[in-house]
Structure 1
Amino acid sequence: MAERIDYEIFKLGDWELQSGEKITDAHIAYKTFGDPKSPAIVYPTWFSGSISDNFWLIEEDKTLDPRKYFIIIPALFGNGQSSSPSNQPAGKPFPRCTFYDNVRAQYALVTQRFGITHLRAVVGWSMGAAQSFQWATQYPDFMDLIVPFCGSARTSLHNQVFLEGVKSALLAAKKIPSAGSGEGGVAVAGETYRTWTSEEKDVGLKAFGRGYAGWGFSQAFYREKVYEKVLGYKSLEDFMVNFWETWACSKDPENLLVMLQTWQNGDVSKQELYNGDFEKALGSIKAKTLVLPGKTDLYFPPEDSEYEVVCMKPGIGQLDIFPSIWGHWAGGPGDSKEDAVWLDQRMKRFFSENPCSV
């Protein structure tokens, strides 16, 4: 059965990238909720996430209420809906994409497709949080608020190491070694770029999922067997197979590698305005910022978020910490009901304390 398409496409043409490469005939996929005349919120997708994976936070009577706001969900390059290896001609590697490239495309969507000149907010989980920080440093005057939850403005070395592990497990199924953090794979001598066999996909993606399993949730999550008590899995192996392997095997390996490379290279200071000065980039943020790390998040520990807020100008940033054992999953995608309520309450208070500027 063909996939039901429940999103729209904005054509970008040949899209020039920070790397000097370009995506030929590029497009960005998106979906909107609410009235285009309402104050606008951009809510980008996360690593591996489809547009529909963001719907859980949009609901009447929640902060992201489509009766009050015009909510735009743009998809990352590489997610399979925006330009990605899976929807491009096969036979050559996909161009290197950065958060800067993604946000520049989102800016084109927002301004050219909808004629929007100012946003109420940019919010997001994980890689969506990174895009929130990117928006606030790339277009500092364009929004009132940002709310990055369980994410960072710069991918830490420890986070790069985690990603290097799962990336290498995936590449190993194709007998390709990693070329290093932020890079792709090392081409095998005498072999041209080729697509994955079915066996390579199956072995590689299952290994990717099992590698990820130790990072997505915290030690306490596993110790308390939340995967059984709350999520309903019968055993640890049932959880590994039917949650993690099933998730990974639903993805295209080349798509995952494109998004992973974007993530490993994440750093808001990697743009001409800042030339690698991370503290200067954070100090440039004008939008009021609510940074929400997870207490037990193994990717994005609260210490990193605390430093991000310290680097902002006085009165710009504030920090609150998910008091949760769900690890990274405290911030989404809605599996932890208590954390979803906590997040919405914090966002609602933050929005009410900071009225619209235009």
Structure 2
Amino acid sequence: MEIKKFELGNFALKSGAVIPNAYIAYKTFGNPDHPAIIYPTWYSGLISDNEWLIGNDMALSPKTYFIIVPALFGNGQSKSPSNSPEFRPFPDVTFYDNVAAQYRLVTEGLGVKHAKCVLGWSMGAGQTYQWITQYPDFVDLAVPFCGSAKTSLHNQVFLEGVKSAALAAKGASSAGSCRGETTPASLYRGWTAAERENGLKALGRVYAGWGFSQAFYRERLYETALGYKDLEDFMVKFWEGWATSKDPENMLTMLHTWQAGDCSDQEPYNKDFGLAMRSIKAKTLVLPCKTDLYFPPDDSENEVLNMSAGVGKCIPFPSIWGHWAGGPGQSKDDVKWLDDKLKAFLANASW
């Protein structure tokens, strides 16, 4: 199945802003008559970057399920700054907006009336929490892995470093957490080729200290597991290579979505986080990584503690791969661990 677009028309955001001629990109796997699983993308990720967890012998099997992979606004496949040059500056988009668009895709575009499961890694986990609070009766099971229901203050600080590194390349600075650059929208300008390259390289190097754990670097897994010759080779080819393959405005659009993440910031919760968590009806398997530097298990355990009794369970990945334990498939042991957990949960709704 090829990547398709679901047209949204002039899409009104929660903020009141409108994205003209909006659409979300998506890809499906399996038979539409099978139980549906919704599997959103992550920060910077393309739809293809989710496919490592899908396979006939895996928990997410197209032989058993109808798997829907919708792309985030800003990822370059859905409506994004990079494919909307006439529309600047791009408005702030939230998880609420993304999931509202995905709900229209799933129900209107694909005819799904109820889903078996929603799951995702990182920002995909944020969308998972958004789904089960925004549409609490629509899905039976949820698996947020290496992500959160509300972006923590520490995580916001990390993202300020990423944002500021990129913006500095064009002489701009951050206007603060969950805000864009200090330059007024009326004076917005794009990026020169040099600013783009330098800003994205800086973004990648800031990110490098957070994506993997201290133990990952101490044990030099970038050499033994990933095959880079030394630390600088890893920094240049892995981190700078990843970052410079992206569009800076896309990255900043998705960064805002992440930084502002809070599934309680909607009716009827009105930022009452405990109420949002208690309102979750889907049985929820929360899988942090014990060495994740910005989605630590303590935060995940607190999310589960705020859920109603018996609804949630937190089980950390026993891994030193940090945030990357949850994706995108480079740690084979972690892939097996996750797939085994998913198989048991999808089959029996048990931990």
| Map of 1:329 onto structure 2 | 324
Q: Report the equivalent of 2:62.
A: 66
Superposition map of 1:183-222 within 5 A: 183-187=179-183, 192-222=187-217
1:150 aligns with 2:146: yes
SS at match of 1:303: helix
Indicate which of 300, 303, 308 corresponds to 2:298. Answer: 303
Matches within 5 A, 1:93-242: 93-187=89-183, 192-242=187-237
Rounded Cα–Cα distance in structure 1 between residues aligned with 2:242 and 2:116: 33
> Is 1:52 matched up with 2:48?
yes
Cα separation, 2, equivalents of 1:141 and 1:252: 36
Shift of 1:354: 2.2
Identity across the alignment (%): 66
Q: Is contact 1:176–1:188 with CA below 8 Å preserved after alignment?
A: no
Q: Partner of 1:263 in structure 2? A: 258
Q: Which structure 1 residue ranges, 5 or more long, are not aligned?
A: none
Deviations 1:45-86 (Å, cap 9, x if unpaired)?
A: 000000000000000121100000000000000000000000
* Pairs within 5 Å for 1:247-262: 247-262=242-257
Name the aligned partner's letter for residue 74 of structure 1: P
Q: Deviations over 1:187-212 (max 9, x none)?
A: 169x8211110000011000000000
Shift of 1:231: 0.2
Cα distance in structure 2, aligned partners of 1:123 and 1:354? 14
Alpha-carbon deviation of 1:324?
0.2
Partner of residue 283 from structure 2, selected from 269, 288, 293: 288
Amino acid at match of 2:317: F
Q: Name structure 2 gaps, 5 residues minimum.
A: none
1:130-174 residue CA offsets vs partner (Å, 9 max, x unmatched): 000000000000011000000000000000000000100000001
Q: In the aligned structure 2, how far is the partner of 1:16 from the partner of 1:188? A: 22
User: In structure 1, how many angstroms separate the alpha carbons of the residues matched to 2:267 and 2:172?
Assistant: 34
Partner Cα distance (1:109, 1:118) in 2: 13
Deviations 1:218-259, CA, capped at 9 Å, x for gaps: 000000000000100000000000000000000000000000
- Assess if the C-alpha contact under 8 Å between 1:30 and 1:74 holds in 2: yes
Contact 2:81–2:87 (Cα < 8 Å) also in 1:
no
For the residue of structure 2 that corresponds to 1:289, the secondary structure is strand
Q: Is the 8 A contact 1:90 1:195 kept in 2?
A: no
Q: In structure 2, how many angstroms separate the alpha carbons of the residues matched to 1:286 and 1:211?
A: 38
Moved over 6 A (4+): none
Letter in 2 for 1:334: G
**CA deviation digits over 1:84-119, x for unaligned, max 9?**
000113362001100000000000000001111100
The question of whether the paired residues in 2 share the 8 Å contact of 1:77 and 1:84 is answered with yes
Give secondary structure in 1 for the equivalent of 2:329. Answer: coil
Residues 164 and 181 in structure 1, CA contact (< 8 A), matched pair in contact too: yes
Aligned length: 350
1:22 aligns with 2:18: yes
How does 1:268-283 map onto structure 2 within 5 Å?
A: 268-283=263-278
Displacement after TM superposition at 1:175 (Å): 0.5
What CA distance in whole angstroms lies between the structure 1 residues aligned with 2:116 and 2:162? 36
Q: Does the CA-based 8 Å contact 1:122-1:145 persist in structure 2?
A: yes
- Give the Cα–Cα distance (whole angstroms) in 1 for the partners of residues 151 and 116 of structure 2: 26
What SS does structure 1 have at the residue aligned with 2:21? Answer: strand
Aligned to 1:90: 86
Secondary structure of 2:270's counterpart equals: coil
The one-letter amino acid paired with 2:217 is Y
Q: How does the TM-score come out when normalised to structure 1? A: 0.96
Deviation string for 1:283-302 (max 9, x for gaps)? 00000000000000001000
8 Å contact 2:81–2:88 — kept in the other structure?
no
